[in-house]
Amino acid sequence: MKTKFLYAIKCLCFFAILGLLIIFAYRALKWKDTTGEYLSSVEQLYATPENLIDVVFVGSSHCYCGIHPYVLWRNYGIAAFDLAVSGQDKDSAYHDLVELYKTQSPSVIYVDLYALLFDRHDVEANVYRNYLSLRISSNSVALVNKYIEEEDREAYYLRFPIIHTRYRELKKYDFLNYAPNLFGRGEYFEWDKNGSWSDPDALNDRTIVELSEKNRKWLEDVIALAEEHGSKIEFIVIPFAETRENQLILNAAEEMLSAGNYSFTNYNKMLNEVGIDLQNDFADVFHLNVYGAEKLTSYIGMELTEKYDLLDHRGDDRYWQWDEDLRWYENSRVGQILTTTDNPYEYISELTRFSDGVTVVSLDGDFLYTETDYFKILEPLGMKYEEYLSGGKWIYRDGKLTKIQENVIGTPEVICDLNKYDSIRLWYGGTFHPENIMLGKDAYQGDCALTCVTYDSFLEKVTAVRGF
């Protein structure tokens, strides 16, 4: 009897350990990307406490590039959220809403209608983003059953047959929480200005074709789901390069929705009213950039506050994630300026206002014998002229500039801790030696007289490396 009992205990321990190993392996290998770069709106949703989200925007990359919740928070204190996934199709849009309603009770839902324009994904990664992101539940199983062919469903149920190959690409944020997934509100910041185009003839074509049964059923199901949970619903088209073929489908949707007295707004037809410029406010032909998103979200915010009575939550500690989301945007904006400016005076000026920045300032080479007055550039940081003359490395942090090292071979290396995971190593191996400035395995010393390496202590990453 005792032998059987011990055998049972050993079996239980074995399966318990095996279960824990599977859980830990899944956490590392699971899909963590709905927008790219470890950024997941689904993870952000799961990190949000219950019943805080006022307004939800549902859609694809058009949504997370074109609608920025920080604008609504900054301007009105509205707690908005982008429930957006790259290539979000009709089935995943519906079941993502089902998932959201498990913990949230939004007053208003905006649904971008780009999903009407396709039935199947062209990009395999978008299938994974949409069908592997939700936690395993009856809802995620129902989603798989709707879209995935029967012979392939088992791999999506179990997930490991798909994700096990990710061990080849595991990186830092497969093991650690990616900070924006704790406080981000689903948006993505795209700063490029690559332009788009508009076809007035296509947009003005009022021809109405028959709406497909799948599209009609999706609209009816989304409406029923929103009404079941007491949410008002708005249908929109976020600006993109729209063809006549697409416009005819949207005409059919508009006819159906108008017949039911549901709001429909195609912002492709309102670029002038919103103030969107085709050349400067698009990252590419399909996606708005940060500048376009600011304009569109501000415009929607004005309409939203006129139409609905929503509370201003600014100052309420429960909504800290929206405060952090705004901080994320502001830091990203500073990082963009630091990365792109060719003016060293502008770079230093931004540093003096960047409270989350930790910057290594390196003066190397013949900096005293150039036409550029580097002391004048660095003086606003608190540079002392006596220290400046010998060059070396400084740390600028919390408004204070501290000299760390001289340009002398043999000087002991200095380790500056940034957080419990990241440290900067300062060393001098000779003029412009790339490993004079190291963060992890990455070398940052440039071959310019002045090199600035700026680390964002809030986002926990190097945000800019510039040489002047």
Give pLDDT tens digits for 394-421. Answer: 999 999 999 999 999 999 999 999 988 8
Where along the chain do the CATH 3.40.50.1110 domains lie? 33-159+175-330
What phi, psi does 429 have (nearest 5°)? Answer: -110, 15
- The pLDDT assigned to 51 comes to 98
**How does residue 3 score in pLDDT terms, banded at 50, 70 and 90?**
confident
Kindly tell me if the per-residue pLDDT of 371 is higher than 90: yes
Q: Is the pLDDT of residue 45 over 80?
A: yes
Q: Tell me the average pLDDT of the chain.
A: 95
Q: Would you place residue 1 in the very low, low, confident or very high pLDDT band (cuts 50, 70, 90)?
A: low
Q: How far is it, in rounded angstroms, from Cα 274 to Cα 198?
A: 15
Q: What's domain 33-159+175-330's superfamily in CATH?
A: SGNH hydrolase (3.40.50.1110)
Alpha-carbon gap, residue 359 to 342, rounded angstroms: 17
**Rounded-to-integer distance, Cα 183 and Cα 173, Å:** 15
What is the C-alpha separation between 174 and 170, in angstroms, rounded? 6
* Long-range interactions of 176-179: CB distance < 8 A, separation 24+: 176/421, 178/32, 178/38, 178/39, 178/40, 178/43, 179/458, 179/459, 179/460
Q: Quote the pTM value.
A: 0.93
For residue range 178-204, what is the model confidence (pLDDT) as tens digits? Answer: 999 999 999 999 999 999 999 999 999
